[in-house]
Structure 1
Amino acid sequence: MDIKQLWLRAQDFFSALDQHPLLQTGLGLALLLIVALVLGRVARYVILHTARLLGRQPALHWVNDLLQNKVFHRLAQTTPSLVIQFGLHLVPELSKNGLIFFGNVALAFTFLFQVLAMSALLNALLDIYARTEHARTRSIKGYVQLAKMVLFVFGAIVIVATLIDRSPLLLLSGLGAMSAVILLVYKDTLLSFVASVQLTSNDMLRVGDWIEMPQVGADGDVVDITLHTVKVQNFDKTIVSIPTWRLMSESFRNWRGMQQSGGRRIKRSLFIDAGAVRFLHDDEEQRLSRVRLLTDYIARKQAELKAWNEAQGNVAAMAANRRRMTNLGTFRAYALAYLKSHPEVQPDMTCMVRQMQTTAQGVPLEIYCFTSTTAWADYERIQGDIFDYLLAVLPEFGLSLYQQPSGNDLRAGMLPALLGASHIPEPQEHAL
């Protein structure tokens, strides 16, 4: 079969198609669709290959974020619909209604992939921002989610308006009558958005902050801030999701100030047995004056008390009329000097040892100071070392710690009385 015969048969085939316009239109549409898909594959290969080459440049490393979020994939997917839009005029015997219908469908697909490309672009921008220094203090994830929500809503309106061949303004005008319904449906979203804006603008919450919110069982680090929820990883590794609006309507504790200050507070009391509080004897004053941390204090206190007692005259001969040093006051001065000389206690922050109101458990002596570190493990170690030492040094001042009697204490106290009893009567048997 030569070329002339092939040409004749092709002419016969096209002349037969002229007698069937619907078949001619269908073949034209099918051919246009095949060409559009092929060109879409070619465009995808060219765009992705070019983007990968650009991503290898150090100055264009952000192109890799666009690739990972499939921004170029979405842009390449618009190629078939664009080809169909511009190629519909080449389809033979296509009616005006068919041209409008297929054109609107292709245009709707173009809008759809453009909306998806813009959504992927927002995700890529979020990833790029996450690597900056500002991301540690300000999270924009909530704003990105809101922008995507608005984008999808308006994209859906435009796509529907394109399919029904109506102006988008007509659909947007109808939303005014539905504003009350929209406010009711998106109530939590609006509340969360307002709360997210207030939290970020007032710098009340950051990713990495340690927050405490007992009413929702949250006590840990903030790991994510989104439009609707704030995720907190507790110290037991559980995750608590808190609605963003609750952080504005309810109170929570943020420990960021403590972490930024460089010191963590110690506020704990020693309960001294009130029965052990007494005046110091002269020999005890001499012995304690040799303690390095008390030498200056005792010398200054002895001079002060001596001057005061001499000013009282003869009435100071009575013990009740003169001032004397107490073991509890001396220990309080020693504990304060010990804290100020401790290498792991913050010297620039409040440091004091104060005596609280006496209770049924004894005399509370509160240790109030700040450690030089905010790390939890180091803080507990320093606090334990301080109180271990203070508890062990109490007997040097003739003091003891109050402790409620336990079963063994009661048994030890009753045993001498039982052993000293002359006769313990045996139970008598009663006659029937």
Structure 2
Amino acid sequence: MSNYKYLLYDYFLSVGASETTAEYLNMLALLLVLLIAVFIADFVIRKLIRVSFTQLAIKTKTNFDDLLIANKVPRNIAHIVPLLIAIEFIPTVFFHFPSFEDIVEKGLKVFAIVLTLWIVRSLLNTLKDYLKTLPNLKDKPIDSYIQVFMIFAWVAGFMSAIAIVYKIDFIDFLTGLGAASAVILLIFKDTILGFVASIQVSINDMVRIGDWITFEKYGADGDVIEITLATVKVQNFDKTITTIPTYALISDSFKNWRGMTSSDGRRIKRALFLKQSSVKYLTDTDIQELKKIQLIASYLETRQSDIESYNVSNNADKALLLNGRNLTNLGVFRKYIDAYLNQHSAINKDMMIMVRQLAPTTQGVPLEIYAFSSDKRWANYEYIMADIFDHLIAALPYFDLEIFELPSNATINIQNPS
């Protein structure tokens, strides 16, 4: 194109244009030719690179090259050659206008920096997507590290662009930038906190993608779907999304249910509140009736024999049930629950099974079931727990026990008819 810069200029003079007009027309004509050449070069190279990458992706077994195409790496790389062509011929186009040439060259160099950042970002996104497909890395906060690198890259690119525009030596520019470090730290405070928190979260393995966490302060209760430099996204069980600052994971308290999901069972910890007035000693007639319950028949036989032997040896006056040792309906019911849980197919027998009586309250005597279901899936877990307590609540009348309930309006109206 440089061979024609004077030819076009001379041609415009020969047709009667003034020198100034010839210069402008020459510049516009050369600029138009350059734009057309750049556009054609960009189109052709982009097509060639895209076809080459597509053919390569078809032949290879790895999905890395597919991810390169998905993240537009070939398209961004294709822009390099047209940009170099433009930078090379800009002096030819604006040889009559040095001031324009300087502005356009600066603009192209700034665009070269932006293009480089685009390519780097595309490559990093490809690497991120590829690493997430690896089983050992899919639950790691890779996004955070990519973001940290890109922040430094954008800062370096921004400083380079300023240095180019104002023709400042890059080393001198960095030196002057040190004086403004306090302001920069203030601007990027959250980013720095997030970066530090992200490293601590990763090193201490506090949270992984896929973990179920409960963070009451932020109203989060669900699965972690994304960990980035600044935020952690949690998809709650109602399908809403809660965004939590990453540094909150190390500054506040939250619950991670990973230990439960990776264990052999999910804990059942719930109590029945029994009416205290329904607790009583069992008579021989009561015991004989309860022996019809298969799960505790042998227990009652053995226990009754031991108690009778003890009372006889200690001359207990059984004319009054209080004397000596006795079975209670609450104690027998507690033993029944223990036997029922130990034969329940959905309860993990290798983990703790306990039925305990808690301190009496104004709402009755709490009888707590502490066990672990083998199935940890939420819906199945709730079904197992409901099935157990359905059975126990229905079994209470066989032991002459009652659930404590606050009186309802209907009960009050019956007791106090108008």
Give the TM-score taking structure 1 as reference length: 0.85
Q: Structure 1, residues 121-173: CA drift from partner, whole Å, max 9, x if none? A: 11122222222213442121111112111111111222232333332222211
Q: Structure 1, residues 368-425: CA drift from partner, whole Å, max 9, x if none? A: 111111222212211111111111111212222222222222332345xx8xxxxxxx
Query: What is the alpha-carbon distance in structure 2 between the residues aligned to residue 194 and residue 236 of structure 1?
Result: 31
Contact kept, 8 Å, 2:316 with 2:323, in 1: the verdict is no
Give the match's secondary structure for 1:347: coil
> 311-320 vs 75-84, which deviates more?
311-320
Query: What is the alpha-carbon distance in structure 2 between the residues aligned to residue 37 and residue 338 of structure 1?
Result: 80
Structure 1 partner of 2:3: none
Query: What is the alpha-carbon distance in structure 2 between the residues aligned to residue 207 and residue 85 of structure 1?
Result: 45
Contact kept, 8 Å, 1:220 with 1:232, in 2: the verdict is yes
- 1:32–1:359 CA distance, 2 compared to 1 (3 A): closer
Q: Structure 1, residues 344-379: CA drift from partner, whole Å, max 9, x if none? A: 112122111111112222221111111111222212
Q: What's the % identity of the aligned pairs? A: 38
Q: Structure 1, residues 161-216: CA drift from partner, whole Å, max 9, x if none? A: 23333322222112211110011111111111111111122111122222112222
Query: What is the alpha-carbon distance in structure 2 between the residues aligned to residue 156 and residue 371 of structure 1?
Result: 57
Give the match's secondary structure for 2:153: helix
- 1:99–1:405 CA distance, 2 compared to 1 (3 A): closer
Radius of gyration: which is bigger?
Answer: 1
Structure 1 partner of 2:281: 279
Contact kept, 8 Å, 2:131 with 2:138, in 1: the verdict is no
Q: Which amino acid aligns with 1:83?
A: I
Contact kept, 8 Å, 2:316 with 2:324, in 1: the verdict is no
User: Is structure 2 residue 118 aligned with structure 1 residue 116?
Assistant: yes
Q: 1:177 aligns with which of 179, 203, 208?
A: 179
Contact kept, 8 Å, 1:264 with 1:372, in 2: the verdict is yes
User: Is structure 2 residue 373 aligned with structure 1 residue 371?
Assistant: yes
Query: What is the alpha-carbon distance in structure 2 between the residues aligned to residue 13 and residue 363 of structure 1?
Result: 108
- 1:31–1:320 CA distance, 2 compared to 1 (3 A): closer
Q: Which amino acid aligns with 1:347?
A: K
> 381-390 vs 295-304, which deviates more?
295-304
The runs of 5 or more residues in structure 2 that have no matched partner are 1-6
Contact kept, 8 Å, 1:40 with 1:80, in 2: the verdict is yes
Structure 2 partner of 1:296: 298
Q: Report how far residue 241 of structure 1 moved.
A: 1.3
Give the match's secondary structure for 2:168: coil
Q: 1:242 aligns with which of 233, 244, 249?
A: 244
Contact kept, 8 Å, 1:224 with 1:230, in 2: the verdict is yes
Give the match's secondary structure for 1:269: strand
Q: Structure 1, residues 248-290: CA drift from partner, whole Å, max 9, x if none? A: 2111111121122142222221122222222211132233234
Q: Report how far residue 87 of structure 1 moved.
A: 4.1
Structure 2 partner of 1:152: 154
Contact kept, 8 Å, 1:209 with 1:222, in 2: the verdict is yes
Query: What is the alpha-carbon distance in structure 1 between the residues aligned to residue 83 and residue 58 of structure 2?
Result: 31
Q: 1:227 aligns with which of 226, 229, 238?
A: 229
Query: What is the alpha-carbon distance in structure 2 between the residues aligned to residue 407 and residue 150 of structure 1?
Result: 68
The runs of 5 or more residues in structure 1 that have no matched partner are 1-8, 419-432
Query: What is the alpha-carbon distance in structure 1 between the residues aligned to residue 277 and residue 61 of structure 2?
Result: 77
Query: What is the alpha-carbon distance in structure 2 between the residues aligned to residue 349 and residue 413 of structure 1?
Result: 47
Query: What is the alpha-carbon distance in structure 1 between the residues aligned to residue 381 and residue 10 of structure 2?
Result: 94
Q: How well do the aligned residues superpose, as a CA RMSD in angstroms? A: 3.0
Structure 2 partner of 1:387: 389
Q: Structure 1, residues 91-120: CA drift from partner, whole Å, max 9, x if none? A: 796688877665554433322211111111
Q: Report how far residue 301 of structure 1 moved.
A: 1.8
Alignment length, in residue pairs? 407
